[in-house]
Amino acid sequence: MRYHTPNSFEDATAIAARATGTTRYLAGGTDVLVQLRSDVVTPDDLIDVKHIPGVKEITRTGDGGWRIGVAVAGAEMSEHENLGRDWPGIVEGMDLIGSTQVQGRATLVGNLCNGSPAADGVPALIAAGASVTVTGPGGARDMAVEAIPAGPGKTVLTKGEMITAVNIPARGQNGGDAYLRFIPRTEMDIAVVGCAVNLTVEGDKITSARVVLGAVAPTIRLVEDAARAIIGTTLDEAALTALAEAAEAACAPIDDKRGTIEFRTEVAGVLAKRAAKIAYARARGEAK
């Protein structure tokens, strides 16, 4: 395995472009090194991105949104003064990954590029309508986060392409997001079901919403029907029931060592309701 420490994205993508065998990027490493240690994936070229300027920065963008560097760790997001105020759901999602120790290393982009349908950091990004900047031989372009996953362990990125930043839109007024996941213990498990909700309100009526489910399909799913079930409502019981039904309908989970099809489907509805209530309360300024 060759270990590279490029000082620019250009060098990094150049290394990746000319590499022949298996290539991996190293940011936090909390997935890459686990796969290395257990002989699941031993890269021929490992490109450490942490020496590239700006990768550790969380910056406010002109339009009031946020730009997150590819090597920003979950702990740094949680400790950031304002990011969590704007987007508590996104910070919660990242904060739930692994232990305190993992939080000191794991990154949003690493979580996204690992391609797990159960990734905790990704649903809230999609719910927020976030995008990532993809740089490659053909130059740079922005892609919606939901466009990146291509199936368990796979992304649409091609040889020589890498993500160089996460772009989160401005929160705007009367908005709130939330992320919840179900795990059998209180910490340390992979999500059996994950659900992010992002919505805006006018008074007590929901004007826009995005609902995203994790761990219930080969990729993380943006569920339009679930959003439609609550847009225009005051999140009353009927709306919550419709939300749960839409969420359950969108599930195409598997039976595995973490959960059954029936369980994941049922709990997807439960989490959708609970996450929606938190996002709604936050949007109306009632809860932090």
86: nearest Cα among 211, 173, 198, 171? 171
Q: Which of residues 127-186 bind another protein (CB under 8 A)?
A: 182, 184-186
Q: Is 30 in the site for another protein (CB under 8 A)?
A: yes
Stretch that binds another protein, among 8-16, 99-107, 211-219, 280-288 (CB under 8 A): 99-107
**Quick one: 25 or 182, whose CB is closer to another protein?**
182
Distance from chain centroid for Cα 87 = 12
**Quick one: 37 or 139, whose CB is closer to another protein?**
37
- Measured CA distances, 197 to 100, 185, 221, 230 (Å): 25, 23, 12, 11
Q: How far apart are CA 275 and CA 37, in angstroms?
A: 36
Q: Is 84 in the site for another protein (CB under 8 A)?
A: no
CA 85, 86, 89, 93 dihedral sign is negative
Under 8 Å between Cβ of 47 and 26: yes
Q: Is 237 in the site for another protein (CB under 8 A)?
A: no
**Quick one: 94 or 145, whose CB is closer to another protein?**
94
Q: Is 37 in the site for another protein (CB under 8 A)?
A: yes
**Would you state the torsion angle of the CA atoms of residues 98, 102, 108, 110, taken in this order, to the nearest 10 degrees?**
-100
Q: How far is the CB of 13 from another protein (least distance, A)?
A: 20
Q: Is 102 in the site for another protein (CB under 8 A)?
A: yes
**Quick one: 62 or 188, whose CB is closer to another protein?**
188
Q: Is 58 in the site for another protein (CB under 8 A)?
A: no
Q: How far is the CB of 97 from another protein (least distance, A)?
A: 10
**Quick one: 99 or 158, whose CB is closer to another protein?**
99
Under 8 Å between Cβ of 254 and 215: no
- Among the listed residues 14, 17, 33, 287, the single contact to another protein using CB under 8 A: 33
Q: Is 116 in the site for another protein (CB under 8 A)?
A: no
Which tokens is 182 given?
A: 């179900």
- Residues forming contacts to another protein in the complex (CB under 8 A) are 1-3, 26, 28-30, 33-34, 36-39, 42, 46, 48, 50, 73, 75, 98-102, 104-105, 182, 184-190, 192, 256-260, 262-263, 266-267, 270
